[in-house]
Chains A and B, each alone.
Chain A
Amino acid sequence: MVEFAGWDSRELLTERTVEIFGRCANRRCCETILDVMAAADDVEACVRLEYERLVQVVAVATGSVADAQDAVQEAFARAWERAVRGGDFTHLSGWVVTVALNVVRGGRRRAGIEAKSRGHVAWTVDQLDVETLVDLDHAVRTLPGRQRDVVVLYYLLDLDVATVAELLGVSPGTVKTGLSRAREKLAHALRDREGDPS
């Protein structure tokens, strides 16, 4: 006997939502392959669950929380439209961060403002000493744009090289090269303060 009740789209939607958030109920909820059936709802859910973290991630690259908020909101709006049109995302958080970084860059290019000249950070943690974080902050923000994107996606979103390459539209080799160069520069910020010669 065919159980057509199991075909009900609303039930499926609910099941998918449960499946998605059951699988990633923590802050990584959006790091899942999204289905177009629930995509708009998923984008909405991810705004609620991921907004703060993604703003923080983008703010590391931009130095400005206000700019990051603006850019992440804009990126989520674009994601929403894309979802409604039937587009899908292999990694929504990565997609949003990539678009947000481009939004910030585009806005600053239009305004003629250099990224490294912006931003003021109020330091609130002391696990690493403030000087180290300031140096690291400076090091991140003085990286060339593409290297900065790679660092954000690889280290802060914990994406693998292949996914970063896909999101940035470059080859995995380019990502590895950018990562290697960025790593070298960022390592200096840590070594200088921590006295680690490695």
Chain B
Amino acid sequence: VTSDPLDDRLKEALHQLAATRDVPLTVDPLAAVRRRVRVRRAKHRAPVVIGLAAGLVAIVVAAGVILRDGDQTGRLRAGRSHRAPPPSIYSGVTMLDPGPLAPRRNAAFTWTGGELVIWGGVSDQFVTGGRRPYQSFTDGAAYNPETEAWRRMPAAPLPAGDAVSVASATTSEVVIARGTGTAAWSREGNSWRALSPAPRPVEDLERLSDATLISASANAMLDVRSGRWRTLSEPPATLKQTHTAWTGRDLIVVGQSANQSFVALSYRPENDSWRALRSPTALSANAVASGWTGRDLVAVDYGLHAESYDPTTDSWTPLPQIPARFFEWYPGLHAEPNSVTAFLANGFAVVDGSRRWTVMPYRLLDIEPITFGRAAPATAPSATQGRFFVSGVKHDGSATLALVDPLQLARSTRQIQVGVATVTVAEGTKVGTWTTDTNSNRARVAVNVATPAGACQIGSAEPRAPDVNGAPSGWQSDPTGRAWSTHATSTDTVDVSCDSAATTRDMVGHIELPGSAP
């Protein structure tokens, strides 16, 4: 259909026709729309009200059972606390079709500007928990969020194996590497082009331009057009577990040196030169994860310390320690210009402009908690700044994919993760300050909340060494009834103290402990 004089006349005539429709503004349209929203919500809420009534009956019956058993000291058995129904949709989370691929880790997971591409990876005990045999994947697929459709990629000229798969997108292709094997997938042709092997295994891959990619682990640059790698000058230190960020002029590389210290380097392609950068003050080199916000590199370590590096001033700035359980599995990190999201063992934490972390349970993303032996979810940017894709594994072992707006989720969530405790807060509750209190014997994270019924502090503590310090027990209250605590696991305690005994009792009823998971 092309524009022509008739089209123009039609358009003009139709606009005139529309202008003849006098719209009486006797009703405030915004008020009318709001009224309809309320009516629609009330309709949707009706089944929930019925469900709540049924739940209330169940709680009354359960309370009767507890009293009948002679438990009159405020003790509840751990694992019997109230569990909120698993929600399907949260504000800030859009669950997407996870696609045709089997769940996996260490896969190439990247955004091309129009599609999310997943290729390779492995399925091992870190993914399946030992439920299925090991498998190394050489398949891939691309997801278009506009059409909500997946398309499979053809067989790639890349090897199978344990090596991590990494990817970087140019305008027309996605370059994927596994080990030293490298190939380019054409988005338009859905076909592969084999490239020369890299001089060393490729574990990171940054796009310098449409024609050039760079890998710190391979210490080489790839000319995408010719498909050939060129080795860089030798860096001042050889690093393991490297993480990289491209500033637009320099490649920042952080990693673990031979003596296991945290080292930061910078490589400038224009003169093929390396220089050492300042080191962070608190970060260890142990299990570091990092992300690039567009102006800072933010990194977290195994001890949940977090710092950000500003390349323009060559300086590190500490962020508050992430208020989550220690002894976490390898953290994951995703940075956007306005937020940083850290993926931990029991939950994920979002820091916003107020430098305040909010820790939330994985169930908000329909992902199974990452206990020891689990892989952190994979993330990739999306078309919209501030939102990103998250792929993980559900409780049933299947793959899950979500589009997340971390700031909106952190602002609106009604579930928070305090150590090992998952807390469902009442509507209208304000989540206040999070703290981490560490001494030589134990570490305790706590959060202050102001509920409509009163103020509470919820804490969760663990010993500094992963030894056994007790058997799980029921909740115990102090003589006032305002402070309750429990050995939630063999190593962790959870405590709640509120303004009144009634508020504490209600709050305890909204805490789930690991044993209460289905």
Name A residues whose Cβ lies closer than 8 Å to a Cβ of B: 1-2, 4-9, 11-12, 33, 35-37, 44, 47-48, 51-53, 55-57, 59-60, 65, 68-69, 73-74, 76-78, 80-81, 84-88, 90, 121-125, 127-128, 132-133, 136-137, 140, 151, 154-156, 158, 161, 166, 176, 179-180, 183, 186-187, 190, 198
Contacts and interface: CB of A to CB of B under 8 A. Distances in A.
B223 interface: no
A48 B15 CA distance: 20
B252 to A, nearest CB: 14
Given A87-B94, A179-B1, A124 B22 contact: yes
A150 B266 CA distance: 55
Q: Which 3 A-B pairs have the closest CB atoms?
A: A7-B353, A77-B36, A8-B353
A155 B14 contact: yes
A179 B89 CA distance: 38
A154 B310 CA distance: 48
B352 interface: yes
A59 B94 CA distance: 34
Contacts of A8: 352-354
A91 B22 CA distance: 25
B353 A5 contact: yes
B352 A9 contact: yes
B512 to A, nearest CB: 24
Interface residues of B, number: 58
B29 A51 contact: yes
A133 B387 CA distance: 47
B30 A55 contact: no
Given A9-B352, A60-B18, A136-B14, A73 B32 contact: yes
Interface of B: 1, 5-7, 9-11, 13-25, 27, 29-30, 32-33, 36-37, 40-41, 89-94, 146, 295-296, 308, 310, 313, 315, 317, 338-339, 352-355, 384-387, 403, 405, 407-408, 411
Given A1-B315, A44-B30, A121 B21 contact: yes
A176 B1 CA distance: 6
Given A77-B37, A136-B13, A2 B310 contact: yes
A77 B32 CA distance: 9
A133 B317 contact: no
Nearest to A183: B10
Contacts of B308: 2
Contacts of B40: 77-78, 81
Given A36-B92, A52-B25, A176-B1, A57 B353 contact: no
A148 to B, nearest CB: 11
A132 B17 CA distance: 10
Contact of A37 (B10, B15, B32, B407): B407
Given A4-B354, A7-B339, A128 B13 contact: yes
Contacts of A179: 1
A86 B23 contact: no
A154 B2 CA distance: 12
B310 A140 contact: no
B276 to A, nearest CB: 20
A139 to B, nearest CB: 10
Task: Output the residue of B22, B90, B295 with the most chain A CB within 10 A.
Answer: B22
Nearest to B295: A2
A124 B385 CA distance: 46
A80 B22 contact: no
A7 B338 contact: yes
